[in-house]
Amino acid sequence: MVKVASTFGRSGTHDFILLRASAIIMALYAIFMVSFLVSAETINYAVWTNLFANLGMKIFTMLALTSVLIHGWIGIWQVLTDYVKNSGLRAFIQFVVSVALIVYWLAGLLVVWPVEGV
């Protein structure tokens, strides 16, 4: 079996499952955040900081960011292999997007994890 180094999963089926799982996690995170924003009486620094000071919220946020990374990685690979035929250009675009996704994940880690309650 040939393994493609540029895909996140091991096969098309694995990529399919990862895409669906990451989409469900991102949808759950979005639903939670929208419901929190709608139900909160006031949103100020203290409320926001206390929300993200909770260990469960930190883990849920990092899981959502990891889902964005996986979903974006597989998605950009699929789109580029379908529409960009020049392999050099495709590799460059995929590299740029992959670096951006990793930077977003790392920035999220550095922003969310050290948050302390007020």
CATH number at residue 93: 1.20.1300.10
Q: Is residue 3 part of a domain?
A: no
Instruction: Give the residue numbers spanning the domain of 103.
Output: 10-111
The residue among 28, 38, 91 whose CA lies nearest residue 60 is: 28
Q: Identify whether 116 is part of a domain.
A: no
**83 annotated as a binding-site residue:** yes
- pLDDT, one tens digit per residue, over 41-91 is 999 999 999 999 999 999 999 999 999 999 999 999 999 999 999 999 999
| Residue 115 banded pLDDT, cuts 50, 70, 90 | low
Please indicate if the annotation marks 14 as binding a ligand.
no
Q: Is residue 18 part of a domain?
A: yes
Give the chain's domain count. 1
In angstroms, rounded to a whole number, what is the distance separating the alpha carbons of residues 29 and 61? 8
Note whether residue 5 is domain-resident.
no
Residue 35 lies in a domain: yes
CA dist., res. 71 & res. 46, Å (int) = 32
Residue 4 has pLDDT above 60, yes or no: no
Asked if the structure places residue 118 within a domain, the reply is no
